[in-house]
Amino acid sequence: MPCVASAQTPAPPYVNAPLGDIPAMPGDGNGAYKTHHYRDLFSEQGHTPAETQAKIDQAFRQLFHGDGQEERLYFETGANANGPLAYVTDWANNDARTEGMSYGMMIAVQMNKKREFDALWNWANTYMLVTDPKNPSVNYFAWSMSTDGSPRSTGPAPDGEEYFTMALYFAAHRWGNGKGIYDYQAQADKILRGIRHHPVLSGTGPFRIHPEDAPFVYPGHPWPSPNNTTAAREAAASGKPLPMRPAPRGPQTETIGPMVDEPHYMIRFVPNVENGISDASYHLPAFYELWARWGPAEDRAFWAKAADVSRNYFAIVTGPETGLTPERNNFDGSPVITRYGSATFGYDSWRSVSNWSVDYSWWQKDPREAVLSDRVQKFLFSQGISSFADRYTLDGKPLSTRHSTGMLAAAAVGSFAAASGPTSKAFVEELWNTPIPSGEQRYYDGMLYLMSLLHCSGNFRIIN
């Protein structure tokens, strides 16, 4: 098996030196996996279990079964031979994404909502799973689809496949395995094997998702979206048309391989072979530890190593003063420079603090995660806990004026790893007092909000 720089390897010049290099803790660590104790951050601040459960139930009712125009993300849409079909939509963009579908499944299995789980998984398999053998992404899931099941992409995104895998393992343990697509364990094993062992395939587009589909070609106009209402109004006021997509550049050849970079034991941003970068928010060491115990036997050592690598990656890519993670990095941790002249903290990046803090809660193998949570909470608190921006340069320059519930929610999960004190408690209380997201931006904000309520209440658990 190839080697990768371990936590003891001397840090390159861009690494956050004050964190130091700390060897990984072997075995099961000292977190909830070993102790079976999950902290309830809300009860630690005086909120009763009944109050907390009522808050979680209300959020689920609103986001899954509330008003279809302003509140709901989950929509059932008929049935097929496998049963009901449902999707989670990014309302602002009027599409369904593997990210949201897999988040919806994770929420459903954590809350014991089998109907919703199965309906989402059925829709993903029916519409998103690439089955055309001429598409080099075959057996992956197309990351974005229109809500009528037609494609907006014919290639995958690793974060969705990771959450699909983990949700399916939990479902197998919670409900047992059924047949076909509802043999959850077999489905999880299949996806996880593909993440590491997908063959390297090349093809020239346009591609199809299913062999019977028409070839997918990006349209030369904006996708239908509620957001286009505002854009159309602004365009009309300025006397200009809506901006068009760039003209297609002709047939494009793609080479698709595994979702991990084998020599670095690291998740890729996309599985296109020529794209050699990673995204810190895709790193999920808490899940990798479970895959090292539950996944296909031949890959367990790989995932155990990947967990250690991800913890080290968090430590070396974050801003040294802010704790913010960039949207993209090279595998060695060096930054991918954006149009702002530096690496930037963006929408994907919101999740990173939650990822390492859940890892700390479940495993407690790397004390650097506590340092990072303290750092990012301290920085955001200094920006105003109710007003910090949702995008920054890594050194803390705001790149927006919008304050986002999803980013707040993920930062509140950071309190699992942060030192107990006024700042960490303020984030938990701010989440408690924040209303359920609604309106155009309710998708990403809402998914992170509800998952963070489950985390902070001790109700997002390892189901074994």
Catalytic (active-site) positions: 99, 348
- Nearest Cα to Cα of residue 434 among 418, 417, 419, 456: 456
Q: How far is 399 from 422, CA to CA, in rounded Å?
A: 27
In angstroms, what CA-CA distances link 432 with 47, 90, 368? Answer: 9, 24, 27
Q: How far is 459 from 169, CA to CA, in rounded Å?
A: 17
Q: How far is 205 from 203, CA to CA, in rounded Å?
A: 6
Q: How far is 293 from 301, CA to CA, in rounded Å?
A: 9
Determine how many CB atoms are found less than 10 A away from the CB of residue 421: 11
SS3 call for 267 = strand
Is residue 72 left, alpha or beta, with left meaning phi > 0 and alpha meaning psi from -120 to 50?
Answer: beta
Q: How far is 200 from 137, CA to CA, in rounded Å?
A: 9
SS3 call for 316 = helix
Q: How far is 355 from 201, CA to CA, in rounded Å?
A: 31
Q: How far is 20 from 352, CA to CA, in rounded Å?
A: 20
Residue 43, exposed/middle/buried by CB under 10 A (0-12, 13-18, 19+)?
Answer: middle
SS3 call for 71 = coil
Pairing of strands 392-393, 344-345: antiparallel
Q: How far is 95 from 144, CA to CA, in rounded Å?
A: 6
Residues present in the chain in total:
464
Determine how many CB atoms are found less than 10 A away from the CB of residue 17: 11
